[in-house]
Amino acid sequence: MDENLVILIVMVLFIIFLALGQNIASLLLFFGIMGIFLLDGWNTVGGFLENGPFYLVATYTLTTIPLYIVMSQFILHSGLIEDIFKIINKYSKGKSGILGSLTIVVGGLMGAVSGSGAATAATLGQVATPQLTKYGFPKDLAAAVSASGGSLAGLIPPSIILILYGSITQTSIGHLFIGAIIPGGLLVLVFILYTQYLYVKHKKKISQETPNNTEKKEAPGEEISVGRQIVVLTVGATVFSIIFVGIYSGVFTPNEAGGVAALVAFLTALLFKKVNWNFLKTTFSETIKVSGMILMIMIGAQVFGRFISLSLIPRKLIALLEPILEYHILIILILTIFYFFLFMFLETAAAIVMSVPVTYPIAMEIGLDPVWFGVFICIISVLGLLTPPVGVSTFMVASVTRVSVGPLFKLTTIYAVVGLIIVGTLITLFPELITWLPSKMN
């Protein structure tokens, strides 16, 4: 069958079934096999399936996935996150502006110890949104702050997105983790400044409507013993140091850092007397479910990627873009728009494993650094957690806070666009913001 016809048939059917809501891993596997068969016959299909999927999931690099997921489960179910927010609330004395900014920071720090954007957003939605509302934030803005802070978990290491990208492209996961630090900090700063702008705007509006209105009286912070505060802050600092300082200094590989951090998280849960049969059952079952889902997506993506390779789609795209390949900024802009809309409609892991085999060769063709490109994709994926129609972080916060998802999406989409314009422009003009720290690693 004609090669171009095969590509058209497979891609059209894939998009149709994806739009109908079919499981992404199954679609990748089925249409990957279908495409390989139509292009090269059953012998190629059988030869590839015989060993390919096994060697993929048996890769040492992918052990980082269950390690960081089990670490995040231990932390989430130990009550550590709620305690961190109580401490911040206590010492900010409930001041609305400070509390809003610190919610964004907490989202980033929670990302560093959990790696799960959805879980972080849900936790912030439950814990932070009522507090922000209590101290003067309108409920939809409080929920938007929680969703935006939660989405940062996808960028702040340990990021499952970066692990997937590193596994697909054979890029150092340690370099990707460290390369994400400065852009992650910039995105936190942008979100903080925009939060302050919206809050000040809201206060002015309230003052104009009710001239005699005074800001809500500060309430005392929630009670948490000094001993527990010390333990919580020590554990947070320890996990943060293991992942960032340990990997950067060369003391730990990313895999070792995940294992040691998971042990620290488990000991914390033990210290807080949270460990029981239900705790173990929940944490390990969730770890197996999430890890299994990611690995199945990767198997399907590997098969689909083999079809992409056989069909020569990357080469054809490079040939199509050849007249403008010398204009690197234009190619980056095209990739930015492509990924921004892709993450609006697809689940993050699926979008990564589907698209990277196609876009990575284009990025390398114009001389982009593999670490820069990985962090670049990760930033856009994080912002995709805030935009409709998929917007996982936004939906999670809407569900736990009972805020209408429509008005919430209006706010979170602006967060995403502002973040993309400012941070995307900075890392494009100054790629060293991503590549400098990895270049200094041991």
The tokens for 35 are 């495409």
Question: From the first residue on, what is the mean pLDDT of each consecutive set of 10 residues in the chain (442 residues)?
Answer: 81 81 79 87 81 76 78 80 73 69 77 58 73 80 87 77 85 90 92 90 76 50 75 83 79 84 89 90 86 78 78 75 84 89 74 83 91 93 81 79 85 92 94 92 69
Query: What DSSP character marks residue 211?
Result: T
Please tell me the distance from the alpha carbon of residue 120 to that of residue 348, in angstroms, as a whole number: 16
What integer pLDDT is reported at residue 93 of this predicted model?
65
Number of H helices, E strands in the chain: 21, 0
Give phi and psi for 327, each to the nearest 5: -95, 85
What integer pLDDT is reported at residue 219 of this predicted model?
45
The domain tally of the chain equals 1
What integer pLDDT is reported at residue 413 of this predicted model?
92
Do residues 325 and 368 make contact, with C-beta atoms less than 8 angstroms apart?
A: no
What integer pLDDT is reported at residue 40 of this predicted model?
81
What integer pLDDT is reported at residue 1 of this predicted model?
65
The tokens for 348 are 């993050």
DSSP conformation letters of 273-314: T--SHHHHHHHHHHHHHHHHHHHHHHHHHHHHHHHHHHHTHH
The residue range of the domain holding 423 is: 3-439
Per-residue b or e along 324-339, where b marks 16 or more CB atoms closer than 10 Å to that residue's CB: eeeeeeebbeebbeeb
pTM of the model: 0.74
